């Protein structure tokens, strides 16, 4: 039975930690909303788990019991944490990986299952072929970090990185051992077919993000044109029994967006 979770980033949007401008070790993803409100709304709309940005998780590094109480009060599992990095610049890679190790260690303490990363910087003067090799090697180091703390490592293709298109994804996946976390809307926005990606990489999918897409916009499930019927069928064919996390980077009423997606998924008996 597939399990349903939600990303807390809708409460505050996709931004970043300002300290990262001058300090790579503090370059976290950070949604500027309330994690407390997010967990309350996620539970109220019928999800049983949540994913959180690394920056929002690390806000609780000295308040671990507070976060554990929030999770218990709302009967929510911490599915995983999302992080990211440039990955292709040797001079800062060590700092990026040390940051990720701190995040992975804390996530593991809280019972997380997944460690998800995005990234691979686009250079000002364009992508070098060697950037894919460097990204692949860096992601293998992420695998080692995640597995050290009992987490499942996955790569999340993302707009604004060197892995947007199907061809770029294929190039990277041949260069690394990391699992794939398909984000269905980012795959389509990059010119790919999420159904085909799920089928092609079925043996490397331990986790997946759902969001709908139409006319250049990320939308609640059912409000775009993504073919979730075929995606869920493809997942069922590989006996997928892991988490499906709904992610919506921003929405005027975050709780309402979560409700729309949850109602849509009930048609699949999820």
Q: Distance (Å, rounded) from C-alpha 216 to C-alpha 143?
A: 32
Q: What is the pLDDT of residues 29-40, one digit of tens each?
A: 999 999 999 999
What's residue 10's pLDDT? 98
Contact indicator for 179, 207 with CB cutoff of 8 Å: yes
Contact indicator for 210, 228 with CB cutoff of 8 Å: yes
pLDDT (average), residues 229-251? 97
What's residue 194's pLDDT? 98
Q: Considering the chain, what percentage of its residues have pLDDT values greater than 90?
A: 97
pLDDT (average), residues 192-198? 98
Neighbours of 94 (CB within 10 A): 12
Q: What is the pLDDT of residues 42-51, one digit of tens each?
A: 999 999 999 9
What's residue 142's pLDDT? 98
Nearest to 118 by CA among 158, 169, 88: 158
User: Virtual CA dihedral for 67, 24, 169, 230, nearest 10 degrees?
Assistant: 20
Neighbours of 63 (CB within 10 A): 11
What's residue 14's pLDDT? 86
Q: Distance (Å, rounded) from C-alpha 81 to C-alpha 204?
A: 19
Nearest to 259 by CA among 222, 209, 207, 234: 222
CATH number of the CATH domain containing 258: 3.20.20.150
Q: How many residues does the chain have?
A: 270
Q: Does the pLDDT at position 246 exceed 90?
A: yes
Per the structure, the complete domain to which residue 212 belongs is given by 3-268
Q: Does the pLDDT at position 1 exceed 90?
A: no
Nearest to 178 by CA among 130, 236, 122, 138: 138
**If you ran DSSP here, which 8-state letter would residue 111 be given?**
T
The number of distinct structural domains making up the chain is 1
For the record, the structure tokens of 81 come out as 């944490």
What's residue 47's pLDDT? 98
Q: What is the pLDDT of residues 128-167, one digit of tens each?
A: 999 999 999 999 999 999 999 999 999 999 999 999 999 9
Q: Does the pLDDT at position 104 exceed 90?
A: yes
What's residue 101's pLDDT? 98
Helical H segments across 59-206, by residue range: 64-73, 90-109, 129-148, 166-173, 184-189, 194-200
User: Virtual CA dihedral for 160, 166, 171, 172, nearest 10 degrees?
Assistant: 50
Residue 90's pLDDT band, with cuts at 50, 70 and 90, is very high
What's residue 143's pLDDT? 98
Q: Does the pLDDT at position 181 exceed 90?
A: yes
Q: Does the pLDDT at position 97 exceed 90?
A: yes
pLDDT (average), residues 197-204? 98
Q: Distance (Å, rounded) from C-alpha 146 to C-alpha 177?
A: 13
What's residue 152's pLDDT? 98
What's residue 263's pLDDT? 98
Contact indicator for 47, 5 with CB cutoff of 8 Å: yes
Q: Residue 3: beta bridge partners?
A: 243
Q: What is the pLDDT of residues 105-119, one digit of tens each?
A: 999 999 999 999 999
Q: What is the pLDDT of residues 208-235, one digit of tens each?
A: 999 999 999 999 999 999 999 999 999 9
Q: How far is CA 161 from CA 135, 150, 164, 232, 246, in A?
A: 11, 27, 6, 27, 21
What's residue 254's pLDDT? 98
Mean pLDDT, the chain, rounded, equals 97
């Amino acid at each position: 039975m597939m399990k349903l979770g939600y990303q807390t980033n809708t409460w505050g949007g996709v931004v970043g930690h300002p300290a990262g401008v001058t300090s790579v070790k503090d370059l976290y993803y950070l949604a500027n909303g309330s994690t407390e409100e997010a967990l309350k709304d996620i539970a109220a709309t019928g999800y049983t788990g949540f994913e959180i940005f690394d920056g929002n998780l690390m806000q609780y590094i000295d308040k671990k019991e507070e976060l554990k109480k929030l999770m218990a009060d709302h009967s929510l599992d911490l599915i995983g944490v999302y992080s990211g990095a440039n990955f292709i610049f040797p001079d800062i890679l060590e700092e990026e990986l040390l940051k990720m190790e701190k995040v992975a260690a804390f996530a593991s303490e809280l019972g997380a299952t997944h460690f998800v990363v995005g990234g691979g910087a686009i250079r000002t003067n364009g992508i070098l072929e060697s950037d894919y090799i460097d990204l692949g090697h860096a992601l293998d180091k992420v695998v080692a970090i995640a597995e050290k703390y009992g987490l499942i490592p996955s790569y999340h293709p993302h707009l604004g990185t060197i892995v947007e298109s199907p061809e770029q994804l294929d190039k990277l996946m041949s260069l690394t051992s990391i699992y794939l976390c398909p984000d269905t809307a980012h795959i389509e926005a990059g010119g790919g077919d999420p159904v085909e990606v799920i089928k092609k990489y079925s043996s490397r999918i331990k986790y997946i993000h759902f969001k709908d897409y139409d006319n250049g916009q990320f939308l609640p499930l059912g409000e775009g044109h993504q073919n979730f019927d075929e995606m869920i069928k493809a997942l069922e064919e590989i006996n997928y029994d892991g988490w499906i996390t709904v992610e919506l980077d921003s929405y005027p009423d975050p709780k309402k967006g979560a409700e729309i997606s949850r109602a849509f998924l009930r048609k699949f008996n999820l």
